[in-house]
């Protein structure tokens, strides 16, 4: 099993470090470019949401990102000490509505759901813990 962890704070400038972290993980585990891009998109959506909406006032949050690759299955875990929020409960966007009538938000979690095989949330010891799994076809050197 290959593992990697990163701790971020809730500042947009951290997204660059997150992207570099994912790129290094993808290279180290011989993931395809598309798989690495998918992981980047998933984490970008989740972490930016935490940065934008997770803190009350100007409080600094600690965001933990863990990646584990085992037998071709990637487990992504993101946990934060922000306000309670369960993105799994977010309703899917209504694409039947005209664009000007659609509520703002919700598209990011829809994208994440479409890219992962499983997504779960729990609140544990004052932290939001989001766990996602995704089959990785490129794992093990297949490009």
Identify the pLDDT of residue 32.
94
Domain layout of the chain by residue ranges: 2-135
pLDDT, the chain, mean: 88
Identify the pLDDT of residue 61.
93
Q: Does domain 2-135 have CATH number 3.40.30.10?
A: no
- CA atoms within 13 A of residue 34's CA, in its CB half-sphere: 8
Radius of gyration of the chain (CA): 15
Alpha carbon distance 130, 48 (integer Å)? 14
- Per-residue model confidence as pLDDT tens digits over 97-140: 677 766 666 667 888 999 999 999 999 999 999 999 999 986 54
**Closest alpha carbon to 6 in 55, 31, 39:** 39
> pTM of whole model > 0.75?
yes
């Amino acid at each position: 099993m290959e593992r990697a962890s990163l701790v971020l704070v809730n500042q947009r400038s951290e997204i660059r470090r997150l992207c570099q972290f994912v790129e290094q993980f993808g290279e180290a585990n011989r993931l395809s470019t598309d798989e690495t891009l998918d992981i980047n998109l998933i984490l970008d959506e989740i972490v930016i949401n935490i940065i934008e909406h997770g803190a009350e006032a100007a409080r600094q949050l600690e965001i933990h990102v863990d990646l584990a690759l085992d037998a071709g299955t990637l487990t992504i875990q993101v946990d934060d000490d922000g306000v309670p929020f369960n993105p799994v409960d977010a309703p899917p966007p209504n694409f039947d509505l005209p664009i000007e009538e659609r509520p703002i938000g919700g598209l990011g979690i829809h994208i994440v759901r479409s890219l992962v095989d499983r997504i779960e949330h729990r609140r544990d010891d004052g932290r939001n813990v989001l766990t996602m799994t995704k089959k990785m076809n490129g794992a093990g050197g297949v490009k």
